[in-house]
């Protein structure tokens, strides 16, 4: 069955436009609470965390009311990274965890993500059950069967300790100068604490959220300020998180971007050289061909999935692998957390660099990236482009020009009205030309 509200990563959209409205979130809290706690043993309990968007106050209250109406107790965590909610859902033995966030999207958007009791995102069949209940009339429990709400004051401290514990005992970042960009988002408080407590000298950007400046020319989607700060402070490297903290990108000491594919390679190479090894890596259709080639040279299996961390996780589970990710900065170490965790992944990269005695710049050079360009074409509404003859002809023509030495991929965004046009190949000039041609065709036909 097709999902009505859920996309590839929860429900997301423009605040005030259905379904990102207060009344919908009220009903969603009731429906999700009913479905996710029906098999709960003992107290029915759900956690709620959020990023720093001003609309989070409204949606937090609406969800709280819906959950309580369904007889569910609610633990309010306040602004916390998405992976922290996954971790705390498990440690609190809660029936589910809910995150109010639109991740890397601008402040005008918001959304919601769910975690099951095991800390993994919900399977399709559970999302469909919630959607089915949303079409029914909301009913409120009698007074003695209502839930209660409480604020959890030590959630941030718990997560900080969890992040540090993913490194070996005694591991220190002393002597490392790092610039952090927290995107004025959910990592603004916990990320600086983690790196300072591990001994790093830190300079922090994007740690003054005001409800409106999340992802605003900062964080993993806008890394220019971070690159400038790394050069200005002569730092060893810079680390950029997105608004909800499940993505991470790096800047090396020369001010150059190090993307998720390169970070994934650095971690995989380190693990391959360690006694436990690296038995495989899951990427996506967007993963750089250079990553696939570099892993093959080490004898590490690699598979591609559809874009979206839920599909990467599925492939990792199926193959019993612990490592996967996307070029956007979703890096998953499933032996450490159940979802993409920007802080934990960053620490794994730093652990690899320390073990190899290499700078980030030198470490990334062991993987040769193919020139790859992605152009986002914004549309008025989401449109199915699969049957458009002119767009398909433009793609066919580009693939002929690449002559088997590159790839073309057109992908609708799962969360925004965008068509992502990606071209990859050996010749950077040709890649840019072909990507621009296809993007112009899409824009002419649909924008």
Q: How many CB atoms lie under 10 A from the CB of residue 165?
A: 11
- Tell me how far apart the alpha carbons of residues 214 and 436 are, in angstroms, rounded to a whole number: 30
Structure tokens at 55: 């609309």
Spatial distance between the Cα atoms of 264 and 160, rounded to a whole number of angstroms: 23
- 305 strand-pairing partners: 284
- Which position among 101, 103, 334, 345 bears the catalytic label? 103
- 413 part of the active site: no
Provide the sign of the torsion angle of the four alpha carbons 276, 280, 286, 288, taken in this order: positive
Gyration radius of the chain over CA positions:
22
Beta strand 149-151 with 73-79 is parallel
Q: In what order do the strands lie in the sheet with 281-284?
A: 302-305, 281-284, 323-325, 331-333
Alpha-carbon torsion angle 233, 204, 264, 10, nearest 10: -150
In angstroms, the Cα distances linking 442 to 380, 389, 420 are: 13, 11, 10
Distance CA 399, CA 430 (A): 11
Residue that is written with structure tokens 């690159």 in the block:
227
Active site residues: 103
């Amino acid at each position: 069955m097709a999902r009505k509200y859920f996309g590839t990563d929860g429900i997301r959209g423009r605040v005030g436009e259905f379904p990102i409205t207060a009344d919908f979130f009220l009903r969603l809290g009731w429906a999700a609470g009913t479905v996710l706690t029906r098999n709960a043993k003992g107290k029915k309990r759900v956690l709620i965390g959020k990023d720093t968007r001003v609309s989070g106050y409204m949606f937090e209250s609406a969800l709280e009311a819906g959950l309580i109406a369904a007889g569910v107790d609610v633990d309010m965590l306040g602004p916390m990274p998405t992976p922290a909610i996954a971790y705390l859902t498990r440690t609190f033995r809660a029936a589910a965890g809910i995150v109010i966030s639109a991740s890397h999207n601008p402040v005008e958007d918001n959304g919601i993500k769910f975690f099951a009791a095991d800390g993994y995102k919900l399977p399709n069949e559970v999302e469909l059950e919630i959607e089915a209940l949303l079409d029914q009339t909301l009913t409120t429990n009698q007074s003695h069967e209502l839930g209660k709400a409480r604020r959890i004051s030590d959630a941030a401290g718990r997560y900080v300790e969890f992040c540090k514990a993913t490194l070996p005992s005694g591991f220190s970042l002393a002597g490392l100068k790092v610039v952090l960009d927290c995107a004025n988002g959910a990592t603004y408080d916990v990320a600086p604490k983690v790196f300072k407590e591990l001994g790093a000298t830190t300079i922090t950007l994007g740690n003054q959220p005001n409800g409106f400046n999340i992802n605003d020319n900062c964080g993993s989607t806008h890394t220019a300020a971070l690159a400038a700060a790394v050069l200005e402070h002569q730092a060893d490297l810079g680390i950029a998180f997105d608004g909800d903290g499940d993505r991470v990108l790096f800047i090396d000491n020369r001010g150059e971007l190090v993307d998720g594919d390169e970070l994934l390679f650095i971690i995989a190479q380190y693990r391959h050289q360690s006694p436990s090894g690296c038995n495989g890596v899951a990427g996506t259709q967007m993963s750089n061909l250079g990553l696939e080639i570099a892993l093959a040279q080490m004898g590490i299996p690699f598979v591609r999935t559809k874009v979206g961390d839920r599909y990467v996780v599925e492939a990792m589970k199926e193959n019993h692998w612990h490592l996967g990710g996307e070029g956007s900065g979703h890096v998953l170490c499933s032996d450490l957390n159940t979802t993409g965790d920007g802080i934990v992944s960053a620490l794994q990269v730093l652990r690899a660099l320390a073990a190899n005695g290499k700078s980030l710049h030198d470490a990334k050079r062991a993987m040769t990236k193919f020139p790859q360009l992605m152009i986002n074409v914004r549309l008025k509404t989401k449109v199915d482009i699969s049957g458009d003859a002119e767009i398909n002809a433009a793609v066919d023509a580009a693939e002929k020009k690449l002559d088997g030495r590159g790839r073309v991929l057109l992908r609708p965004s799962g969360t925004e009205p965008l068509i992502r046009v990606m071209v990859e190949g050996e010749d950077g000039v040709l890649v840019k030309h072909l990507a621009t041609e296809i993007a112009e065709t899409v824009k002419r036909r649909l924008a």
